[in-house]
Amino acid sequence: MSLNTAPWQSDDAYEQMVGTLFNYWACWTVYAVAHLSIADHLASGNLTAAEVARREGSAPHTTLRLMRAGAAVGLLTEDANERFGSTPLLETLRSDDPRSLRPFVLSQMASWLPWDRFVASIRDGVTRSTEAFGGSPFDFLAAHPEEAERFSAAMAGVTALWGPAIAKVIDTRGVRCAVDVGGANGALLMLLQRDNLDLRGIVFDRPNIAEYAHLEVTRSGFAERTSVVGGDFFESIPQGDLLLLKFILHDWSDDECIIILKRCRQALAPAGRIAVIDSIVGPNNPRAALFDMNMLMGCTGRERTIDEFDELFGVAGLQRITVRDTGTPQSVIELTVAEAE
């Protein structure tokens, strides 16, 4: 059983509507299961809820209720002796999995405050994230190192999930230096470097994030080919002949995106390329519309149609070369400096 085949799913429209609320409760169940590290506790075998509670330091009776809910949404199995086991869905939350989605779950579900103002945002067209966080989300992360580390790990987990398919369509032949702009821990850059043993690169992110990136680059064995630079991409970007903008533009307003793209143009070596990795809104990518609601709640940005992207590129003095489908919710849009008219 999984969240998509849960017992409350139905062909009846009224039952489907009720099911959407069940899915809301299911998301919070997943969050609690991730927070209590239940996937790690069950990694070596089945346990009772009391045994999990003893290891985690949680209340046995509510841990049992949570684990029963986890079984209802396909995270756990439960036998007649009230012993719980893991499922493939739960395995995605193991902390020792290189593709672990635990940080992503924790990071996303912990950012619930702006959603309390969701309808107000729709009515007046203004995001409430600054109001909820007491500043921009990125200022909040800078002031809360633990959350920043979790967010960086969350982006790494998503990159591990979708990154191989994204990296597969990015041609690095002849590239001397690739710059992972706002690259968190450099996960995408390192995927490209695994395929191209001659590729050198730079991970560029805020100074507080660069600290974690340096540790990850060193741990992964790429330190000899990779520099880590802290800075602000609204001010300047290290030079390269391939600039990667993965999940960056959707964080920012049109005016802010234009500034970022102009900085990229200034940093681009002659005949270089920019690879924008983002969701493209359209009938063939319905998940982009849901991503867009998350962006409305999280920051000043949005998901965009290809025409909206092209408008930004043109203002920044860039032109689109191609759009490559990756088989994931994200596409790779390649740009170069626009030809003079």
- Kindly report, residue by residue over 146-196, the tens digit of the pLDDT: 877 777 778 778 888 899 999 999 999 999 999 999 998 899 999 999 999
Ranges in the chain, pLDDT < 50: 1-5, 341
Q: Which of 301, 257, 307, 261 is nearest to 281 (CA)?
A: 307
At residue 5, the pLDDT reads: 47
Written out in words, the top-level CATH class of the domain with range 160-337 is alpha beta
Q: Give phi and psi for 64, each to the nearest 5.
A: -65, -45
**Residues contacting residue 293 through CB under 8 Å, at least 6 positions apart:** 118
The length of the chain is 341
Say whether pTM exceeds 0.75. yes
Burial 187-220 (b: 16+ CB within 10 A, else e): bbbbbbbeebeebbbbbbbbebbbbbbbebbeee
CA-to-CA separations, 183 to 109, 173, 302, 306, in angstroms, rounded: 22, 21, 19, 23
| In the chain, domain spans | 3-93, 160-337
Chain segment 282-319, per-residue pLDDT in tens = 988 989 998 898 888 878 889 999 999 999 999 999 99
CB 336 within 8 A of CB 319: yes
At residue 333, the pLDDT reads: 98
At residue 192, the pLDDT reads: 96
At residue 8, the pLDDT reads: 56
What is the spatial distance between Cα 338 and Cα 321, in angstroms, rounded to a whole number? 10
At residue 304, the pLDDT reads: 97
Pairing of strands 318-325, 268-279: unpaired
At residue 2, the pLDDT reads: 41
At residue 9, the pLDDT reads: 65
The CA-based dihedral angle spanning residues 31, 36, 37, 39, taken in that order and rounded to the nearest 10 degrees: -70
144 is catalytic: no
What is the spatial distance between Cα 255 and Cα 101, in angstroms, rounded to a whole number? 32
Residues facing residue 308 across a β-bridge? none
- The 3-class secondary structure across the chain, one letter per residue, is CCHHHCCCCCCCHHHHHHHHHHHHHHHHHHHHHHHCCHHHHCCCCCEEHHHHHHHHCCCHHHHHHHHHHHHHCCCEEECCCCEEEECHHHHCCCCCCCCCCHHHHHHHHCCCHHHHHHHHHHHHCCCCHHHHHCCCHHHHHHHCHHHHHHHHHHHHHHHHHHHHHHHHCCCCCCCCEEEEECCCCCHHHHHHHHHCCCCEEEEEECHHHHHHHHHHHHHCCCCCCEEEEECCCCCCCCCEEEEEEECCHHHCCHHHHHHHHHHHHHHEEEEEEEEEEEEECCCCCCHHHHHHHHHHHHCCCCCECHHHHHHHHHHCCEEEEEEEECCCCEEEEEEEECCCC
CB 108 within 8 A of CB 293: no
Which CATH code is given to the segment(s) 3-93?
1.10.10.10
